[in-house]
Structure 1
Amino acid sequence: MSEREILTVTEAALEKILDLRASEDDAEDLALRIEVTGVQGVDFSYDLAFEVLSEATTDDVPTHAGGGLTILIPGRDLTKLEGATLDLPSNGNQAGLVLRNPNRPDLGPNATLELSGTLEEQVQEVLVKRINPSIAAHGGYAELVRLEGSTVLIKLGGGCQGCGMANATVTAGIEKTLTELLEGIDSVLDITDHTSGENPYFAAT
């Protein structure tokens, strides 16, 4: 695999990563995998983990970060991570690493949907790219709990949790969108505890 530079690792972050790697077995054989796992708010969410370099797939793109460290990035995530910087948090009291990424997810009604992977992953993509941007205007969001056959079980949060229009939001908006876009989805079931929000839809008994 030939190496190319996708993102930058600051000296402080590199030192931290190398220290962490040194505590692992076969440290010299380990690369750092960085991949995009989804969307959180208006930003991507990420997963960082050490992985044996020899186990990298043909889809992985390696980049040299210095200090003998190779970073592996899945080919599908290259454009999402290009130009990003891996650094330590600005707040010295905050642990871990931070990825400063100039790229943002393609959200909203015109967002591109890839609709690949498992049916559950496709449902998650539609929730993130189409549904949540729409209900975010009301301060709410929908979260996938699980699939049961052709039924999607969701929880509503934020402004939707105790909202009197919560059930209408599910049936008229979320269910309509999911059933139209995804073959194999027939219905949506809201399992939110609406008694926990303000103006709960279901009154406590």
Structure 2
Amino acid sequence: MAVTTRTVLSLTPEAVTAVRDIRSQEPDAAELALAIGITGVDHMRFVYELTFIPLVDAAPDDVVQVFGDLPVVVRAGSVSRLEGSTITITEAGLTIDNPNGASPKIPSGGAPLEGPLAQRLQTLLDEQINPAIAGHGGYARLVSVEGDTAFLQLGGGCQGCGMAAVTLRQGIEVAIMESIPEIQHVIDVTDHESGQNPYFH
């Protein structure tokens, strides 16, 4: 394990002091590093894990930064999603200000779509949109196409999520309208409050 010169995140001096104070209460404190990783997404926000680990236990592909005498291990699988983050201390404790969104990145473009409108839309959902939102536990299902409007039902992690409208508007809708210009409107027919689909009532 080697200390890297790569800067992934920063800690304010107050945060460094707070973490050192907490670490000082641990046995073998001088050998411990603060390990930071993202363990998942909940309601379109990253879920973080911050723990103390022996510095020697850092994996070879983890990024190790040093703040004074405080080593910080950024877990390899979280590096790109923590890039540019700042850890501060507030009354609530340590806070991570992360400029990277937890909303899934939905690719646009891709191979040209062929066939009838509904078939092209289904292909887009199957090949681009659903794989992108599956990592967040969600899926989008085509209910119908009427004129220039696509009606979708969001499910899984998207159903009941307060950020589903943002995902639809900023991700799914943009990908559909860029790939299939005939579609001018995308409507979510999912009832996110009750988990029922009001479109079928």
- Give the structure 1 partner of residue 183 of structure 2: none
What displacement does 1:106 show?
A: 4.2
Partner in structure 2 of residue 5 of structure 1: 7
> Aligned equivalents of 1:102 and 1:62: distance in 2?
20
Give unmatched runs, 5+ long, in structure 2. Answer: 108-128, 141-154, 166-190
Distance in 2 (alpha carbons) for counterparts of 1:138 and 1:27: 40
Q: What SS does the aligned partner of 2:18 have?
A: helix
The aligned residue for residue 74 of structure 1 is: 75
- State the partner residue of 2:95: 98
Letter in structure 2 aligned against 1:88: I
Q: Are 2:197 and 1:165 equivalent residues in the alignment?
A: yes
Correspondence for 1:86? 87
Residues 158-183 of structure 1 show CA distances to partners (whole Å, capped at 9, x for unaligned) of x64635439x8xxxxxxxxxxxxxxx
Q: Distance in 1 between matches of 2:3 and 2:84?
A: 19
Partner of 1:199 in structure 2?
Answer: none
1:78 is displaced (CA, Å) by: 1.2
One-letter identity of the residue aligned with 1:75:
A
Q: Quick one: which of 39, 49, 52 aligns to 2:51?
A: 49
| Aligned residues of 1:64 and 1:71 also touching (Cα < 8 A) | yes
| TM-score, scaled relative to structure 1 | 0.56
Cα distance per residue 1:1-57 (max 9 Å; x no partner) = 132221110011111100000000000000000001111223211000000001111
Question: Aligned-pair RMSD on alpha carbons?
Answer: 3.5
The residue number in structure 2 matching 1:107 is 104
Runs (5+) with no aligned partner, structure 1: 116-122, 141-158, 169-205
TM-score scaled by structure 2? 0.57
Distance 1:129 1:58, change over 3 A: farther
C-alpha spacing 1:114/1:54, structure 2 compared with 1 (3 Å): farther
Distance 1:128 1:19, change over 3 A: farther
Give how far 1:108 is off.
6.5
Contact 1:60 1:72 in 2 (8 A): yes
Asked if the contact 1:107/1:129 (under 8 Å) is kept, the reply is no
Aligned length: 138
TM-superposed CA distance for 1:112, in Å, is 8.6
Alpha-carbon distance between aligned partners in 2 of 1:78 and 1:138, rounded to the nearest angstrom: 24
The share of aligned pairs that are identical, in percent, is: 26
Work out which of the two has the higher radius of gyration on C-alpha atoms and give 1 or 2.
Answer: 2
1:15 corresponds to which letter in structure 2? T
Cα 1:138–1:38 change in 2 (3 A) is closer
Alpha-carbon separation, structure 1, partners of 2:41 and 2:32 = 27
